Chains A and B, each alone.
Chain A
Amino acid sequence: MSPGGRLPLLLVAVTALAMTPLACTGLGEGLTYYRTPSELRPAGGEHVRLGGLVVPGTAHPDGRELHFSLTDGTKTIDVVHTGYRPPVFREGQGVVAEGVLGADGRFRSDRLMVKHSEEYRAADGSR
């Protein structure tokens, strides 16, 4: 290979080598896209994703905030969300919230994402 061809290859190889440890250390956390309420560590100020089901009867808007409880069946955490609310947000549904666990045990979310099921049906309930 000519010297002209070797330099870019070298650059790519060096970049890949530099990225590998980064990818490996990030992978453990990265593959866990969200934690459930039981897995949430005590308030450490870190920005994490929390996933679970919205407990029916707990969702109520309060000014700019949206309050609801999130459960994984074992543990339930109160969530206070500020920001965009997906219009299909519903109680009893799976959601993923990004935010920080406060000292008061409430999860302050700034990004709310709604999971939807793999089922599709018409409004009259037929499928």
Chain B
Amino acid sequence: MGDELAGNDAVAAGRRRLERCLGTGALAACAAALALGLVIAPPDALQGETQRLMYVHVPAAWAAFAAFAAVSGAGAMRLWRGEGVWERLGRAAAELGAGMTALTIALGSLWGRPVWGVWWTWDPRLTATAAMLLVLLAYLALPYWPGGDPVRRARLTAATGVAGFAVVPVVHFSVLWWRTLHQPPTFLRPPGQVPVHPAMFAALIAAAVAFALMGAWVVLRRVRDLEPAPARAAEPAGESCGRVLVRSAA
């Protein structure tokens, strides 16, 4: 996609540079996380190699939280400033958030079977996480609701993103508020009191950085992809669902 520079200006060039930085950074952090997580960090004394799933499961959950925060923030901006980039940002972040939530659940299930003994149980943490996925899917489905006024629907979608964020603290604090099978948080403690082997900690931090950079990279690219057709110089044939969305909402 080299068409932005032709029609657009320094903004597009700056955005491309930012995308390239994010992509390169994500790649480097991925390499570091792989080395730390698969080679340098020791297996857990009790759980063995299975515990390495933590280096993907936990960053995926954090990325889902961050993505939902972006959905909520973009929703508020959409309600305040009207349609435009905030609408596209909200959608791009919700897509990432839904994917990350699904990944969190899938990896948690793979981790749960050997360690807990079950793939799934309706404990408050797992139930709240499933609810978070449903809220994000509802947010993504709302713009496609048949009939009605698309602009009103876009506002409703944005409001859903803002209100739906309430599920995030429920997911996070579920392990503290209620009895769960899932263990309480490990990492939100004063420095030096985190009960984790330093190499495991380093692997997790590297993986979290990789997920954060990769998530930002994916969302930026997706926001660009969701731009309405006229903003692009040479429009290739065929429509992405995003462009259909924007057109129907315009």
Interface residues of A (CB under 8 A from B): 1-6, 8-9, 30-34, 51, 84-90, 96, 111-127
Q: How does the 8 Å CB contact mask read for B196-235 relative to A, with 1 for contact and 0 for none?
A: 1111100000000000000000000000000000000000
Contact B146 A125 (CB under 8 A): no
Interface residues of A, dominant DSSP: loop
- Please give the distance in Å from B235's CB to the nearest CB on chain A: 30
Contact A86 B115 (CB under 8 A): yes
Contact B146 A4 (CB under 8 A): yes
Interface residues of B (CB under 8 A from A): 42-47, 51, 54, 114-118, 121-124, 127, 145-149, 178-181, 183-186, 195-200
Question: Looking across the interface, which residue of chain B has its beta carbon closest to that of A2?
Answer: B147
Contact B115 A32 (CB under 8 A): no
Contact B179 A86 (CB under 8 A): no
Contact B115 A120 (CB under 8 A): no
- 16 of the cross-chain contacts (CB-CB < 8 Å) are A1-B147, A2-B148, A5-B148, A31-B178, A32-B179, A33-B181, A84-B117, A87-B114, A113-B121, A114-B115, A118-B184, A120-B47, A120-B54, A122-B44, A126-B197, A127-B196
Complex Cα gap A120–B58 (Å): 14
User: Which residue in A3, A9, A51, A85 is a CB contact (below 8 Å) of B117?
Assistant: A85
Contact A88 B186 (CB under 8 A): no
Contact A86 B116 (CB under 8 A): yes
Question: Looking across the interface, which residue of chain B has its beta carbon closest to that of A95?
Answer: B117
